[in-house]
A and B are shown apart, each in its own frame.
Chain A
C-alpha cells in the first residue's frame, strides 16, 4: 500500500442510494485469483449495454468524469457482500476516495485497508457536490481530514486515528498485528482448543 498523499481531482457524481457491491463489481468477475485488472469491470452492468458497448448516459462514461479520482455516491454506499473486490475494482479504475452520506460497515473497513478513502459528509455538503456535478474540482487531504470544494470551503470529515495513521504511512494491519506475537501466544496458551479441524479428513 502506498502512503496516502493529498491530491486534487475532478469528481464523478453517481447520486444513487444503496449502491451494493453486486453493482460495484458483479459476482461473475469474482473468479479471479488476483487483485489486479478489476477496474475494467467496475459498475459493469451499468456501464455497458448487453452488447458490451458503453452506455453514454452512465456517469462514468461521460467526458466530464474522465480522470476523476473521487466518486460521489448516494447514501449507504457499498452495502451487500464482504467482497474486497469492490475496493480493488474502484482503486484499479483510478478512484482514491468515495464521498457519501453513509457507508456500509464491511465496505468501509475494506476500503480503508486498500488505500481507498471513504469520506462521510453531511446531506447538505453532499447535495452541494451533486449540484455541482461531475467534473467539479475537489481537494482531499487526509492528514488535515479535509475535503475542499471548488469554492474553497474546507469540509472536515471523520476518520479513526488508527486507520488514518496506517493509510498515511502506507502500512497495513497485518504488520501491526504481528507486533503482538507474544501476547497472542500467551492468550493461546491459556485456552484449550475445542477440536482439531484437520481430523475431518
Chain B
C-alpha cells in the first residue's frame, strides 16, 4: 500500500462517496456550534423542512457575543441578547445539546469541547469558526466552515471537500526558558507569511512540538489558520492519551485500550510524501510579539521594528500602512512601547496553563496602574480550576480584572473592547485593524509576555521577570 500521511489516513477513512471530477463527501464525526454562525443555518433547515441529522454528534455553546461580566445580570445589548436567545430556541427545537452559562461547561467553542473529551484522535470535526484548527492538536482533521456549510452538516453530517496539500513543519530542539508554544507559532507565521500555508493541511512534528503539553499544542494548531492553511495536525502520543484519559466522553475500560491501540496507528508513515517541508529551530526562538496588522508581522521582543526603507514595492507600501496604523516607527525597538490594555484569554491562550503562565509573572507584583488588564478564562472549567489553584486571587491582588468565560476582547463583539488609538498586548490570534475595537492597536504575544507588559506598562521581555 502507498505510504500515507496522517492527513491521508483520516481523509480516506471518512469518504462517503465521490463521483468522478466532483468533490468528495467527507463524513463529519463532531460538529460544534455557537451563536454567531449558526442562526442562518438553522433558518435554512426550517425553510427546507429539514431536521438535524445527528444531534448526537452536534454540540453547542455560547461564547462570541456573551458579556464576561457578572452572569446574574441581564445582557444589555439587545441584539446580542436576541442572538443568544435564538441559539437557545434553535437548540431546543432541533434537539441539539447546548452548554450555556451555568452548565459548568460553557466556554469558547474550542476550549470547552476538548475538556469534555469530545475531541478524539482520528476524528473529523468542523465548526463555523476558522479557529476550529485548534483540535488538530489531537490528530483530528478539524477545520472552519461557513454558515452554508454549517447548514449542510446539520442536514447531512457531510461536507463536499477537495483533498488539501500536505505540508510538514518540523520544529527542532528544545525551547529556552520564557519561550512558549505561542512564540513557536508566531515565529512560524512570520517566516512563511499569512499565505504560506494556503490550501494545505500542516502537520507539526519535531522535538519542540513533542515536548509541549496538549494546551501548548492546541495553541499551535489554533493559529495554523493565520498562515492561510486549512488545518493543523499533530500526531497523537502519550501526552494526548494522558490528557484524554478519564474525561467525560473519553472511552472507558476495555474500550479505552482498544481506542488507544487504534490511535497509535495515527501517524504519518515513514517516508510518506509531503508537498512542502519547513523547518524551524526551536532552540533559537525568543519570545515573539507582533508590531503590525497581520499575524505574520511578528518579531522577537528584543528586535527592532522592521524599517520600510529596507523594502520596496507593495511590501514597502504594506509595511508603511501597517506602521502608520499602529503608530510605530520602523527601525526602533519595540521594547518600551507604552501599553494601555493587556488581554489574556481566547481559544489561543485561555486555557489553564496559559493562566498559570500569566500568574507566574503577576504573583506578588502589581500591574502598572495605567494598564487595564483583563484575564478571561476560556471556559467555566478553566475558571473553576484556576480558582481552585488560587490564580484568581493572584490576578486580583495584582490589579487585574478576573472575568467570566467567553471570546471577549479577542474580537470585541461582546462589549469588551479597546478604544481608538489604544495599544493592547493580547494573547489572542488576530491583530487586524480594528479587531479589538475600531482604531485599536493589537500586539499579539504569549501570556508570559502579556503579563510582563502589564507589569511594566510597556512592551516587556518576560525573561527579565524570571
Chain A residues with a Cβ under 8 A of chain B:
16-18, 20, 22-23, 26-28, 30-35, 45, 50, 74-76, 79-84, 102, 104-106, 109-110, 113-114, 160-162, 172-174, 176-178, 180-181, 183-184, 187-188, 193-198, 200-201
Also in contact, A28 and B152, with CB within 8 A (given A80-B430, A106-B130): no
- Residue B448 interfacial (CB < 8 Å): no
Given A30-B413, A162-B21, A200-B116, the answer on whether A104 and B83 have CB atoms closer than 8 Å is no
- A18 and B194 contact, Cβ closer than 8 Å, known pairs A82-B144, A174-B156: yes
Cβ-defined contact, A104 with B152, below 8 A: no
Interface flag for B278 (CB, 8 Å): no
Contacts of A197 in B (CB 8 A): 30, 55-59, 97, 118, 249
Contact check: which of A22, A81, A105, A106 meets B434 at CB < 8 Å? Answer: A22
Kindly list chain B residues whose C-beta atoms are within 8 Å of the C-beta of A162.
21-23, 160
Decide: A106 and B144 in contact? CB cutoff 8 A: yes
Segment from B3-11, B33-41, B208-216, B365-373 that makes contact with A = B33-41
Instruction: Give every chain B residue within 8 A of A198 (Cβ-Cβ).
Output: 55-56, 95, 97
* B156/A200 in contact, CB under 8 A: no
Instruction: State the 5 A-B residue pairs at the shortest beta-carbon distance, nearest first.
Output: A84-B146, A82-B144, A33-B39, A110-B146, A82-B130
Residue-wise, chain B 350-387 has the 8 Å CB interface mask toward A (1 for contact) of 00000000000000000000000000000000000000
Q: Most chain-B CB neighbours within 10 Å: which of A34, A75, A82, A113?
A: A82
Stretch with Cβ within 8 A of A (4 or more), from B74-82, B233-241, B334-342, B449-457: B74-82
In this assembly, does B346 line the interface, its C-beta being within 8 Å of a C-beta of chain A? no
Interface size class, chain B: 35 or more
Compute how far the CA of A82 lies from the CA of B17 in the bound complex, rounded to whole angstroms: 26
Q: A31-B80, A187-B27 are in contact. List 15 more A-B contacts (CB 8 A).
A: A20-B432, A45-B438, A45-B439, A81-B144, A82-B132, A82-B145, A105-B199, A110-B148, A160-B23, A173-B149, A180-B16, A187-B16, A197-B249, A200-B248, A200-B249
Most A CB within 10 A of own CB, among B86, B120, B152, B162: B152
Q: CB-nearest residue of chain A relative to B112?
A: A200
Most buried by A among B22, B36, B99: B36
Scan B426-460; emit 1 where CB is below 8 A from any A CB, else 0. Answer: 00001011110011000000000000000000000
Partner of A174, one of B27, B56, B144, B148: B148
A69 to chain B, nearest CB (A): 21
What residues of chain A lie closer than 8 Å to B105, measured between beta carbons?
200
The answer to whether residues A178 and B148 also contact, given A34-B40, A200-B59 and a CB cut-off of 8 A, is no
Residues of B within 8 A of A50 (CB): 420, 438-439
Residues in B neighbouring A105, C-beta threshold 8 A: 198-199, 228, 230
For B425, what are the chain A residues with a Cβ–Cβ distance below 8 Å? none
Contact residues of B between 55 and 81, Cβ < 8 Å to A:
55-59, 64-65, 77, 79-80
**B219 proximal to A (CB < 8 A):** no
Q: For A196, give its contact among B17, B56, B145, B149 (CB under 8 Å).
A: B56
Complex CA distance for A20 and B152, rounded to whole angstroms: 25
Once the chains are docked, how many angstroms separate the CA of A124 from the CA of B109?
Answer: 43
Determine chain B's interface SS by DSSP, over half rule. loop
Question: Chain B's nearest CB lies how many Å from the CB of A128?
Answer: 15
Instruction: Write out the residue numbers on chain B whose beta carbons fall within 8 Å of the beta carbon of A184.
Output: 16, 25, 27, 156-158
**Residues of chain A with a CB closer than 8 A to B434's CB:** 22-23, 26, 45
CA distance A36 to B144 in the complex (A): 22
B65 — which chain A residues lie within 8 A by C-beta? 30-31
Bound Cα distance from A201 to B195, whole angstroms: 41
Interface residues of B in 243-258 (CB under 8 A from A): 248-249, 251
Q: Are A76 and B430 in contact (CB under 8 A)?
A: no
Q: Which residues of B contact A75 (CB under 8 A)?
A: 195, 314
Tell me whether B412 is interfacial, beta carbon within 8 Å.
yes
Docked Cα-Cα span, A83 to B130, in Å, equals 8
**Which positions in B face A, CB cutoff 8 Å?**
16-17, 21-23, 25, 27, 29-30, 36-37, 39-40, 43-44, 48, 54-59, 64-65, 77, 79-80, 82-83, 86, 95, 97, 99, 103, 105, 116, 118, 120, 123, 128-130, 132, 144-149, 151-152, 155-158, 160, 162, 194-195, 198-199, 228, 230, 248-249, 251, 294, 314, 318, 321, 411-413, 420, 430, 432-435, 438-439
Residue in A28, A33, A172 whose beta carbon sits within 8 Å of that of B40 in the complex: A33
A18 touches B294 (CB 8 A): yes
Q: Which residues of A contact B23 (CB under 8 A)?
A: 160, 162
CA distance in complex: A125, B123 (Å): 43
Within the complex, what minimum Cβ distance (angstroms) separates B137 from chain A? 18
Contact B413 A28 (CB under 8 A): yes
Q: A83's contact among B21, B37, B55, B58, by CB below 8 Å, is which?
A: B37
Residue of A nearest to B318 (CB): A17
Cα(A178)–Cα(B149), bound, Å: 13
Supposing A34-B40, A176-B160, A177-B155 touch, asked if A81 and B129 sit within 8 A by C-beta, the answer is yes
A84 touches B130 (CB 8 A): no
Whether A174 contacts B130 by the Cβ 8 Å rule is no
CA A200 – CA B79 in complex, angstroms?
28
Docked-complex contact B155 and A27, CB < 8 angstroms: no
Chain B's nearest CB lies how many Å from the CB of A118?
13
CB distance from B211 to the nearest CB of A (A): 28
Question: A171 to nearest B CB, angstroms?
Answer: 12
**B228 and A193: CB pair below 8 A?**
no
Q: With CB as the reference atom, state the residue of chain A lying closest to B82.
A: A33
Closest to B314 in A: A17
CA distance A22 to B434 in the complex (A): 7
Contact A173 B95 (CB under 8 A): no
How far apart sit A23 and B325, CA to CA, in the bound complex (Å)? 13
